[in-house]
Chains A and B, each alone.
Chain A
Amino acid sequence: MTAGAAITIPEIDYLLHEPARLRLLAFLAVVKRVDFTYLLKLSGLSRGNLSVQMNKLADARLVKIEKSFRDNRPRTIYQLTARGTNALREYKKNMKAILAALPD
């Protein structure tokens, strides 16, 4: 390597890098569909925080949101999109590369 040359490391997607969002995506990656209440219990996040994080993921089209009513109760169902699966896979690959380059 020549002195002063830029060191390139894999790009990290900061949308996924945030711990709460990463945890939510990991949950969504192992199930088919899940509703807001289940995700709330599973993640341990507050309602407000969960809602904000899920909306960010939905805005980036990593997660699909379905809103409906059942027994007069509003229900929000989340599902990881193909784009979300790919983003998560890419994130994992890049993180692995970075971690592998770190000294022990």
Chain B
Amino acid sequence: MLENLGNIEKRVYRAFWDDGLLDVFASFGVLAIGFFWMRDWAAAAAIVPALLVPLWSPTRKRFVEPRIGMVEFSDNRERQNTRRLKLVIYAGIASLIIGLELYFFRDRLEVSPAVSLIAGLPALLLGLMALITSFLVASNRFLIYAAILVFAGVYGAMNDWRPGPILALAGIGMLLLATTVMVKFMKDNPHVPEDIE
């Protein structure tokens, strides 16, 4: 393949994620997990990512492609994406399970200062996921989502909140930003009636 075109590919790839759809999915996921946890359906929270993943492609085709069109990246990039997305999803599920375990068995832990932070642990772990995602999709917005999750985790734990409300608070904050990004994208990219020349 041609050399020195990597920068163009990176720019095109970064622009691919600027529609805000991933932001909305991630923030909706965090909000749903928080909601389930608040209703004591914590186990259901663990399947939220698995429910959202199959919706990704049809939603993108329905809302994003009529506005900015379709692009398929090289096989290498697609393989790398699939690998990375799987990694993020598995790590997200693992983070939630670890958070759940620690939260429900917190009374057995004997390190009292740590115990007070355990309620914020799921949000902190998801904050770490957001940090990793920011590198994967080359988007600084996910650094902000990471900061929101960390802030909610620390603030909620210090005020003796349960994990559910902490995640719901973070989810609402993230969803506000994500919606702003998506609305801006839709405003900047009106629906193209037909793509024929």
Contacts and interface: CB of A to CB of B under 8 A. Distances in A.
Contact of A38 (B1, B8, B9, B69): B69
A42 B70 contact: no
The prevalent SS among residues of A at the interface is helix
Interface string B63-93: 0011111111111001000000000000000
23 contacts: A30-B12, A30-B74, A31-B9, A31-B74, A32-B75, A32-B78, A33-B71, A34-B69, A34-B72, A35-B71, A35-B195, A36-B197, A37-B66, A38-B70, A40-B192, A42-B15, A50-B197, A51-B197, A73-B66, A73-B194, A76-B195, A76-B197, A89-B2
A41 B69 contact: yes
Contacts, number: 84
Interface of B: 1-2, 5-6, 8-9, 12, 15, 65-75, 78, 189, 192, 194-197
B194 A39 contact: no
B12 A42 contact: yes
A94 interface: no
